[in-house]
Amino acid sequence: MVKLSKRMSKALRHDPGRIGLTLEPGGWVPVADLVAALGVERADVDTVVENNDKKRFSIVRGPDGVERIRASQGHSVPVELGLVPVEPPERLYHGTNAAAVPSIRDTGLNRGGRHDVHLSTDEPTARRVGARRGGPVVILEVDAGAMARDGHEFYRSDNGVWLTAEVPPQYIN
């Protein structure tokens, strides 16, 4: 199922056109279209959605009766998720590889090829996210409360990941 989850992420977050999909507003695509494009069983897609530890995907039934799926966040293709700004907790966390720390100290956390910087509400989650890159993991504490008071906007995705355009270095401990 991990392989299918990665294929779904690629299709819904980064390169839908590669398999003939076009994201609808909000990043949605009919589940039947995704199933057909990937050449998999619907039950397998449902298993990935239900069992993904990070809840990367959401399925909804639209007013037209069609079930649609989208990635909760992490897109590198243009998509407007329809999230509204919300007040963040005072502290958020970001896990990263130790090799990235000098650059982060200089320039802050930047979204790179994605729409937003991803932040976690707790250190264990940030550690799991940071471990994906391999090597020693460093947990950075973000003064999200101060950022918000200084005018930076935060959003919370469907799966609880906190998103912001950037984290300038002065807000990182």
- Domains with residue ranges and CATH for the chain: 2-71 (1.10.10.970), 91-171 (3.20.170.30)
Q: Spell out the residues 6+ positions from residue 23 whose beta carbon is closer than 8 angstroms to its own.
A: 12, 16, 29, 70, 77, 79
Identify which of 50, 156, 149 has the alpha carbon closest to the alpha carbon of residue 90.
Answer: 149
> Rounded to two decimals, what is the model's pTM?
0.75
Structure tokens at 144: 């999200």
Per residue in 117-164, pLDDT tens? 999 999 999 998 888 777 889 999 999 999 999 999 999 988 888 999
Task: Name the residue among 32, 35, 26 with its Cα closest to residue 7.
Answer: 35
Which residue's structure tokens are 């720390």?
Answer: 101
Which residue did the predictor score with more confidence, 141 or 58? 141
